[in-house]
Amino acid sequence: MTAPLVADHGFSRARVRLALLALALGGFAIGCTEFVAMGLLPNIARQLIPTVYAVSPTQANGQAGLLVSAYAAGVVVGAPTIAALSARFPRRTLLLWLLVAFTVTTVASAVLPTFGLVLAARFLAGLPHGAYFGVAALVAASLMGPGTRGRGIAFVLGGLTIANVIGVPAITFLGQIAGWRVAYLGVAAIFALTFVAVLLVVPKQPGDPAATVRRELTIFRRPQVWFALAIGAIGFGGFFAVFTYIAPIITTVTGLPESFVPIALIVAGVGMTVGNFIGGHVADVSLMRGLFIFFGALLLGLLGLAFEAQTIGGVLIFLFVIGAASAAVSPAIQTRLMNVAGDSQTLAAAINHASLNIGNSVGAALGAAAVGAGLGYLSVTWLGVLLVVLGVIIAAISFATERRSLHRAGSLGLQQDPVLDGPLP
């Protein structure tokens, strides 16, 4: 990671770097809890749904995929709700309570005995996700200084992408050796460590004293906010439709042993890490062009996997492309939301994760339906292609609508924020 710029806030460069690393560690833990089920899906299905698994492993894997959808649904519910209700709270205090919630619900995911109860625990574990990333992004942006919003967001999200290089493969390997319940306990320990790190090194920051639930919710009166949410919810669904079923694709379609799954996850995680930081820089320079380029790359990766999943080289190359492109899209969409949100910055920073996890939930659920219907594991790649194309169409409509609005305002002598091609000054 490159050294951040330091704003005029009185903290040393070393203090800022430690604070950013603590925030990124939270992203690392969230990446582990969000993605670890994907690498351990067959293991979870075999233990939690044994009667279904005995009859049809494919059906059981499809049903276990609902654990991914449940977590994503929790994000969708929790991100706007917690962000709107807590915008006035001191930011470090709020982060600490969110980390407590993550720790408790992840432990519950590990110890509850039945599929239904674990499903409920995964929903609850998703509730603090969007609020954490939203508040952490605001803290990071304030620490790094003006003109670096996209890079601040990318730094926090960097923990999530690095989790896919180190954390998720390691936790997946642990789960394969010691059981998936032990894997979730390991994730809970990372959340507890993050709590200590944030408490010790993240400076206290006030919330927004002028914030009210009513003011935060005015964000939903802005058409461009809805466009940005739809871009993330639909376009990003293409990534999750595929990534949810990466383990059975590797073992069934490519014909590789289960031990190869962590290697594939590392490759995808390296792609995510690279893509995240490229996306953060591009979001600060040319958001619109970058968004279309990254969606194009995601489309290429999905098509490549659809045709080359039977080969080791094809799986690794196109998983890297899919990971890089999807991660590059995320800071662009979050920057876009914050640019068009007006005063509702806390809610804007959080609801990006709600929209992406609508994509997570929809993609995983549609994938479960396709796999459960007997269409095969590669059907999820074509489902992903469809969702990405729809996301590109929505993005094109959004930017075209905004251009017309800016042109009309200019002809009437009115002023509007120039958010088409980069962040607000």
Q: What integer pLDDT is reported at residue 423 of this predicted model?
A: 40
Domain that holds residue 282: 13-411
Q: What is the CATH number of the domain that holds 21?
A: 1.20.1250.20
Q: Is residue 18 part of a domain?
A: yes
Cα–Cα distances in angstroms (integers) from residue 5 to residues 11, 143, 155, in the given order: 12, 8, 12
Residue 88: CB partners within 8 Å, gap ≥ 6? Answer: 207, 208, 209, 211, 212
Q: Is residue 1 part of a domain?
A: no
Q: What integer pLDDT is reported at residue 124 of this predicted model?
A: 95
Q: What integer pLDDT is reported at residue 284 of this predicted model?
A: 67
Tell me how far apart the alpha carbons of residues 271 and 327 are, in angstroms, rounded to a whole number.
8
Q: Is residue 419 part of a domain?
A: no
Tell me how far apart the alpha carbons of residues 234 and 33 are, in angstroms, rounded to a whole number.
22
At 22 the three-state DSSP class reads helix
- Please report, in tens digits, the pLDDT of each residue of the chain (425 residues total): 444 444 445 677 788 888 888 999 999 999 898 878 877 888 888 888 888 888 888 788 878 878 887 888 888 888 888 877 877 788 889 999 999 999 999 999 999 999 999 999 999 999 999 889 888 887 887 777 665 666 666 777 778 778 877 888 888 889 889 889 999 999 999 999 999 999 998 888 776 666 667 777 777 788 888 888 888 888 878 887 888 788 888 988 988 888 888 888 888 888 888 888 787 777 667 777 778 888 999 999 999 999 988 999 999 999 999 989 988 887 777 777 777 777 676 677 677 777 777 877 788 778 878 887 888 888 889 998 999 999 889 988 888 887 777 666 555 554 444 444 444 33
Q: What integer pLDDT is reported at residue 416 of this predicted model?
A: 47
Q: Is residue 423 part of a domain?
A: no
Count of domains for the chain: 1
Q: Is residue 395 part of a domain?
A: yes
Residue 100: CB partners within 8 Å, gap ≥ 6? Answer: 195
CB hemisphere CA count around 205 (13 angstroms): 25
Look up the pTM and report it. Answer: 0.71
Tell me how far apart the alpha carbons of residues 108 and 120 are, in angstroms, rounded to a whole number.
9
At 407 the three-state DSSP class reads helix
Q: Is residue 416 part of a domain?
A: no
Please give the angle made by the CA atoms of 242, 365 and 52, to the nearest 5 degrees.
Answer: 100
User: How far, rounded to the nearest angstrom, does the alpha carbon of residue 280 sit from its chain's CA centroid?
Assistant: 14
Tell me how far apart the alpha carbons of residues 181 and 357 are, in angstroms, rounded to a whole number.
23
Place of tokens 């006030």: 206
Q: Is residue 350 part of a domain?
A: yes
Q: What integer pLDDT is reported at residue 417 of this predicted model?
A: 47
Q: Is residue 422 part of a domain?
A: no
Side chain identity, residue 119: L
